[in-house]
Amino acid sequence: MKVIPYGKQSITQEDIDAVTAVLTSDYLTQGPVVPIFEKAVAQKVKVKHAVAVNSATSALHIACMAFDLGKGDILWTVPNTFVASANCARYCGADVDFVDIDPDTWNISIEKLKEKLCQAKQQNRLPKVLVPVHFAGQPTDEETIWELSKEYGFKVLEDASHAIGASHNDEPVGSCKWSHITVFSFHPVKIITTGEGGMAVTNDDELAERMAMLRTHGIIRDSALFKNNYEVIEPWYYEQQILGFNYRMTDISASLGVSQLARLDGYVQTRNSLANRYQSALADFPVQLPTVEKGNVSAYHLYLIRIKKNGAHTKTQHEVYNALKEKGILANVHYMPVHLHPYYRDLGFTDGQYPESERYSKDALTLPLYAALTHEQQDHVINTLKNIFKK
């Protein structure tokens, strides 16, 4: 049997044809397809502006820059995420702090967020930006976070790397009804892919304009916005007004994105029905299963279980991981807490600071879940787990 990974892309003949069409066209980059992809995503998630870039990491970086995050400022996120959610602050010279997760949703704990904001206000150390992560594809409590952002004056930057196609109270993730900017990732393990790629979406005209400049060196070509006051503006003229980067997405990538986006709803449905199959099959296992909160549709980027203590029969995360691996099943752990990476320890973070995320990282296991996972493969995962927990 072939190895079953925890996640992987689905590529169809339409995808291959779309990419091939760009390869034989006039433009491989800075052509017409990136704006087409941006419009398609914006329409899909019901938002005004979309800025495509070469990764979600780049999108997080230019979003933080658009907020003017800098030295002396603080960004908060959760420890249970990929390091990029926190690193974006460090790129800007800002400090990072964390809010622990909820033991049931595995998303940011609203209770802990409220407590921490209250304390931070007294110490005059309020965050400038909060990065809530829609973990595994499940939206956070977006309305409450939005209310708190108004009360305490921080910006909300949703890391929706797991959650394109998800919705909260009938509002698609990315509509930015309850945030300033939302970021998506199109890495191959995510819901849809462009190879590498990401996007920042917003309803704010100024933030969108700034992010569009920042992704391409801080250069503008719109003569209405030029600052140099030359008498004659030559046709080849452009201006660099701020310090930006080359974070552009190629038209090759965007063409794959356009093609994949057309199948987004189907992918999310398939992921949900596979997740439901796991839910019923694993119901009697000594594990905690994921929950989906009322009002949420999860994109189910990841399917995780937490191994419960079960007396003398308790299996460790390590044992279950290895027993699965022996049968050709590559589980994973999402995530090792960000604050315990050596880079963050060097900044002063230490064990025991975020106990829920730390406990979680020691008993959670990510099982295979992707659109192309067959029922036969999934049954192999389920039966293997059955044998592991029986012993």
Ligand X SMILES: *Cc1c(COP(=O)(O)O)cnc(C)c1O
Binding site for ligand X (CB under 6 A): 55-57, 81-82, 84-85, 133, 159, 161-162, 185, 187, 198
Nearest approach, Cβ of residue 60 and ligand X (Å): 7
Beta strands in 37-152 (DSSP E): 49-53, 74-77, 95-98, 129-130
DSSP 8-state symbol, 72: T
- Closest approach, Cβ 37 to ligand X, in A, equals 15
Among residues 55 and 361, whose Cβ is nearest to ligand X? Answer: 55
- Taking the least distance from each CB to ligand X, the nearer of 82 and 178 is 82
Nearer to ligand X, 106 or 389 (CB): 106
Which residue, 141 or 159, is less far from ligand X as judged by CB? Answer: 159
Q: How far is the CB of 257 from ligand X (least distance, A)?
A: 12
CB of 57 to ligand X, least distance (A): 3
Question: 358 near 383, Cβ under 8 Å?
Answer: no
Print the SS3 string covering 216-232: ECCEECCHHHCCCCCCC
Give the whole-angstrom CA distance, residue 308 versus residue 321. 15
Q: Where are the beta strands (DSSP E) in 54-180?
A: 74-77, 95-98, 129-130, 155-159, 167-168, 171-172
For residues 279 and 45, the answer to whether their CB atoms sit within 8 Å is no
Cβ at position 42, least distance to ligand X in Å: 18
Considering beta carbons, is residue 136 or 213 the nearer one to ligand X?
Answer: 136
Residue 310: beta bridge partners?
312
∠ at Cα 20 (15, 26), nearest 5°?
A: 130
For residues 78 and 102, the answer to whether their CB atoms sit within 8 Å is no
- Toward ligand X, which CB reaches closer, 131 or 373? 131
Minimum distance, C-beta of residue 368 to ligand X, in the bound complex (Å): 17
